[in-house]
Amino acid sequence: MKAMVLAAGRGERLRPLTDRIPKPLVALGGKTLIARHLEALSEAGFDQVVINLAWLGEQIEQSLGDGSRFGLSIAYSHEPPGALETAGGIIQALPLLGDKPFLMISGDVLCAYPLARLRSRPLKTQGHLVMVANPEHHRHGDFAIDADQRLVHGPSTLTFSGIAVLDPALFAGLAPGRRALRPVFERAIASGQLTGEHYRGLWSDIGTPERLTEAERLLGN
C-alpha cells in the first residue's frame, strides 16, 4: 500500500510562522511534522509515499529529497499556486498512487495512531476514516459511526483526524481541479461507502500557534 501525505496547504492560521516555511516543516519537539509522519510510515512498513506540494513546496522537497534517509521512496505531486484543496490534490496525484487503496494523512496533525493497523486492514468500502473526539475548536464534529462502523449523520459526532485509507474509486468521475474533500465524503456516506473507527490516543491538529504550543506540552517539551 502506498501513502499520501497532504502538504500543499498555505497554513494561514499559523502565520507569520508559515510566511517563511511551509506548515509541514514546522518543528515540534525538535522534529518537523512531516519528518514525524515519514518516520511513522517507515516504521509501519510503508515504502512508497506521495507528497503534494504548493506553498513553499520547494523547501519540503529540498528537506526530504528522495526519502531514502527515511527508508522510503518519495514522489512529489506539484500543484499550481493556491493549491487544489484536499480532494483536488488527491485527484491530481492518482496517477502516482495507482489503482489500489492508499493511506492518506494530513501533514499538519500530530498523531500516535498505529499506521500498520491500516496497512493490514482489508478495505471493504470506498474509504475508512480514523475519527477522534471533538476538540474544543471543532465541538460539533463531522460524522457519527453506527453499529456497523458505517459513517452516518447523527448526534454522537466525532471529528475526522486527517488519517484514512481511501480507494481511488471514491474519486471516480470527478474532474481534475480545485475540489474540497467533504462533499466527496458526503457522496460516499449517502451510498454507505465509508466506515470509521474511534481513535482515543494522542492526536492534535496543529492549526494555530496556540495548538502548536499545546502539542509541545503534550509531547513534554
Q: What angle do CA 30, 162, 209 make, to 5 degrees?
A: 45
Alpha-carbon distance values, 16 to 2, 11, 19, 35 (Å): 33, 9, 5, 22
Task: Please give the domain boundaries of the chain with CATH numbers for all domains.
Answer: 3-219 (3.90.550.10)
Q: What is the pLDDT of residue 27?
A: 83
Q: What is the pLDDT of residue 122?
A: 86
Exposed, middle or buried by CB within 10 Å (0-12, 13-18, 19+), for 163? buried
Crossing angle (nearest 10°) for helices 57-64 and 33-43: 50
Tell me the whole-structure pTM to 2 decimals: 0.93
Q: What is the pLDDT of residue 221?
A: 52
One pLDDT digit (tens) per residue for the chain, 221 residues: 999 999 998 767 767 777 888 889 988 888 899 999 999 999 999 999 999 999 888 999 999 999 999 999 999 999 998 889 999 999 999 999 999 999 999 998 989 999 999 998 889 999 999 999 998 888 899 999 999 999 999 888 999 999 999 999 999 999 999 999 999 999 999 999 999 999 999 998 887 878 888 777 777 75
